[in-house]
Amino acid sequence: MSFQTEIPVIRDILAEGGIILYPTDTIWGIGCDPFNPTAIEKVYALKQRSESKSLILLVDAITMLREYVTDMPPKLITLHEYHIRPLTIVYLRTKNLPNYLLAEDQSVAIRIPKDTFCKTLIAAIGHPIVSTSANISGQPSPMSFESIDPTIKKGVDYVVQYRQNDTHFEPPSVIATLNHENEIIILRP
C-alpha cells in the first residue's frame, strides 16, 4: 500500500487529538500532535510512562528545526546532513515549544528522519510530530510491527498500514547533544 493515501487520514486524526502507531526511520513509534496536551497525556498513559521522561520530536528538515531551536551552530547542521545513522540531538536552547514537551533542564530531543514517509507526513502536518517507541515503558523496543504489544496496537486511534510487512527496522537512533561550550557529546552511540 502506498503511504500517500494514508497521509490525509493521519493528518486529520492527529489534528483531532488522536494518537497513531507508525513506522519511523528507526523503529515503530507512537505519535501525536506535540501541541495538543491531551494527545500527549494519551501517549504517556498508553506507554505507562512517567511524564518526567520527555518525548522526541521529529521535524522534516533543518528549516523546520530552526523554528524550535535557538542555537544552530554550523557543525550541527553538518552533523545532521552527513551522519549516516538516524541522529537525535538534545537541544538545550529551544523556542516556540510548550513547557510540557521540555525536559526538566528545558531541553528537547529532535530528529530529522531519513525516511520519506515520516518527512511527507510531517510536511503535511506543517509542524513536528511526537515520536516515542511503540512499547510499554520498560519493555524492549519493537523491531517489527509483529513484535508490537497488542495493548499498544489497540490503544492508538490509527495504525499506519504502510511497512507493516517489513521484518526488521533499524536500531534506535544515535543520541547527541551540544553542551554549553558548543562541543558535541554522544549520549547513546
Full DSSP string of 149-184: -HHHHHHSSEE--TTTT----PPPPEEEEE-TTS-E
Cα gap 121→110, rounded to integer Å:
16
Residue 109, CA atoms < 13 Å, CB-side half-sphere: 20
Q: Within the chain, which residues score under 70 in pLDDT?
A: 1, 169
- Among 157, 64, 68, residue whose Cα is nearest residue 118: 64
Q: How far apart are CA 5 and CA 27, in angstroms?
A: 22
C-alpha span between 75 and 183 (Å, rounded): 9
Amino acid 74: pLDDT: 86
The whole-number pLDDT of residue 80 equals 84
Confidence at residue 1, expressed as pLDDT on a 0 to 100 scale: 56
What is the model's pLDDT at position 171? 76
DSSP state for residue 143 in the 8-state scheme: S
CA–CA distance, 64 with 87 (Å, rounded to integer)? 16
Q: What gap in Å lies between CA 153 and CA 59, rounded to an integer?
A: 24
How far is Cα 106 from Cα 95, in angstroms, rounded to an integer? 10
- What pLDDT, on a 0 to 100 scale, did the predictor assign at position 164? 92
β-strand partners of 74: none
- Count CB-CB contacts under 10 A for residue 107: 16
Which residue carries 536552547 as its cell? Answer: 93
pTM for the whole thing?
Answer: 0.94
Q: Under DSSP, is residue 188 helix (H, G, I), strand (E, B) or coil?
A: strand
The pLDDT score that the predictor gives to residue 97 is 97
All three cell numbers of 150, joined, read 497488542
CA–CA dist 171, 53 (Å, integer): 20
- What tens digit of pLDDT does each residue of 133-186 get? 999 999 998 888 999 999 999 999 999 999 999 887 677 898 999 887 878 899
Domains, the chain, in order of start with CATH, read 3-188 (3.90.870.10)
